[in-house]
Structure formats: C-alpha cells, structure tokens
C-alpha cells in the first residue's frame, strides 16, 4: 500500500534528480548533455502522472512536488542553456565568466533567466487554475523546455549549417526566450494528449498531431522539435475554433 501511494512521487524525484544533474551539465557548458537530462526528466514526469492516475493516488502533495520538479527540470535547466548560448554569442563583449560580464556591462546572457521566472509563474498558476484538468491554458513547461533544449541538440548533432548559424545569433535566442515565456502564460487553450475515448472522430486533432510527430522526427530528427511545438500551438487553436476543447 505504501509503495502504491509513493510510486508516482518516486518518478517525480527521478525527474527532479535529472534536472539537478542537468544544471551541473549546463554550468559546465555541456549543453547537449544538459538537454538529454531534460529529456530524461520529462520522460519521468510523464510516468509520475500516469501512475498517479491509474493507481488513483493523486494528491495535493504530489501535485506541488511535481511542479517543483518541473520548475527545475523544465524551467531552470532550459534557462541556463539559453544563458550559456547567449554568453557564447556575446563572449567578445566582456569575458567568459559572470563577474567579467557584469563588470563589462554585458547583461545579454541574463535574458535566459526569464525562462525559469516565466515557468515558475506558469506552474504556480497551473496549480490553482481549475480549468486545466484535461487541457492546458498556455504552453506546458515541458513543451517549452523541449523547444529550448532542441537548440543545443541541433548544434551538436545536426549537419544543417544554416540552422546552426541561426541558432547562434543573439537575436534568435532572445526571440525564442521571449516567445516561449509569453506562450507559457498566454490565455491560449491547448489540448493535452489524454484520451477519454480512442475514437477517431473525437480525437482527430490528437491523432493528426501524433502522426506528424512521427513523420517529422523520422525526417528531420532534432530539427523537428521546434516545428512540433509550433504545430502543437496551431493545431490547438484549430481544435479550439472548430472542435471546442472541453474539460
């Protein structure tokens, strides 16, 4: 009985642990490794909710613990990744360490810290928003984290030189940060991949989304991730306009 009650929390702690290791990798500028730890954390995050639902052991404690873990894994680590990428793109503006950057007046990398701040606001709001039971309002923090961690993964494993060059531009990184922070807290209804039934008609948008994920990832690998996040938002808007998301 005790194991059943705390099994979801075990996965939440695994999520948090992955995030903590991700922070260490990000501080060492090993951004691809930090991104992989976020992916691992999101994997664990899926299963804590999954087991909480099927075992019917959902609790207020678990809800709050889950948000704290998500803040670390899907908020702090992506913020540090943006910080490091912006620091690399502006290293000639004032040194490679934080103190040197501050002394030289190079505050550009600190824009990355907007991500954990916006994530914290989104998670706190999520916990008290009764609308977000079977759908979301605003981009979920793991989705925004996926968008950001795709950047170092594309740099490390993609052979698309033009895409890599674009990612290393400060204006692109700032744009991604501001768009992500805005979407996290935007009043946009977004569907969740939870199925009350498995009929095609009532889940056509979800099945289309899953099919597009498979096609895009098979074709473009890590470059597909930003496209998938954009598709997620667009398809959610289409569903909300024509199918109306219901909790």
Q: What is the DSSP letter of 137?
A: E
Closest by CA to 149, choosing from 35, 8, 21, 14, is 35
Q: So what's the pLDDT on residue 7? A: 86
Q: So what's the pLDDT on residue 1? A: 59
Query: Over the stretch 126-165, which tens digit does the pLDDT of each residue have?
Result: 988 887 777 899 999 999 999 999 999 999 999 889 999 9
Closest by CA to 18, choosing from 144, 126, 149, is 149
Query: Over the stretch 176-211, which tens digit does the pLDDT of each residue have?
Result: 999 999 999 999 999 988 777 777 777 888 899 999
**Look-up of token digits 């948000």:** 67
Q: So what's the pLDDT on residue 204? A: 87
Question: H helices within the chain, ranges in order?
Answer: 2-27, 31-54, 60-71, 77-89, 98-103, 114-128, 141-157, 161-167, 170-184, 204-220, 224-242
Query: Over the stretch 61-120, which tens digit does the pLDDT of each residue have?
Result: 888 999 999 999 999 999 999 999 999 987 666 667 788 888 777 889 999 999 999 999
Token duo for residue 221: 């690998």
Burial label for 60, CB within 10 Å (0-12, 13-18, 19+), is: exposed
The CATH number of 2-125+137-189, from 3.30.70, 1.10.150, 1.20.120, 1.10.3470, is 1.20.120
pTM of the model: 0.90
Q: How far apart are CA 80 and CA 168, in angstroms?
A: 15
Distance of CA 191 to the CA centre of its chain: 15
| SS3 assignment, position 90 | coil
55 phi and psi angles, rounded to 5 deg: -90, -5
Which residues does 196 contact at the CB level (< 8 Å), separation at least 6? 134, 202
**Domains of the chain, residue spans:** 2-125+137-189
């Amino acid at each position: 009985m005790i194991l059943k009650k705390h099994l979801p929390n075990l996965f939440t702690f695994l999520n948090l642990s992955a995030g903590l290791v991700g922070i260490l990798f990000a501080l060492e500028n090993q951004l691809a490794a930090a991104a992989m730890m976020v992916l691992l954390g999101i994997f664990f995050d899926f299963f804590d909710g999954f087991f909480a639902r099927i075992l019917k052991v959902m609790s207020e404690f678990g809800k709050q613990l889950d948000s704290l873990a998500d803040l670390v894994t899907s908020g702090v680590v992506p913020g540090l990744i943006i910080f490091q990428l912006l620091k690399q793109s502006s290293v000639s503006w004032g040194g490679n360490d934080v103190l040197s950057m501050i002394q030289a007046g190079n505050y550009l990398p600190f824009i990355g810290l907007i991500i954990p701040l916006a994530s914290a606001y989104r998670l706190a709001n999520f916990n008290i928003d009764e609308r977000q039971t079977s759908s979301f309002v605003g981009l979920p923090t793991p989705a925004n984290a996926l968008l950001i961690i795709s950047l170092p993964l594309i740099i490390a494993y993609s052979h698309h030189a033009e895409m890599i060059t674009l990612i290393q531009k400060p204006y692109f990184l700032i744009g991604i940060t501001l768009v992500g922070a805005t979407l996290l807290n935007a009043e946009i209804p977004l569907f969740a991949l939870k199925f009350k039934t498995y009929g095609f008609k009532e889940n056509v948008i979800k099945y289309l989304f899953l099919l597009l994920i498979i096609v895009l990832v098979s074709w473009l690998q890590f470059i597909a991730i930003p496209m998938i996040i954009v598709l997620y938002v667009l398809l959610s808007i289409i569903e909300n306009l024509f199918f109306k998301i219901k909790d």
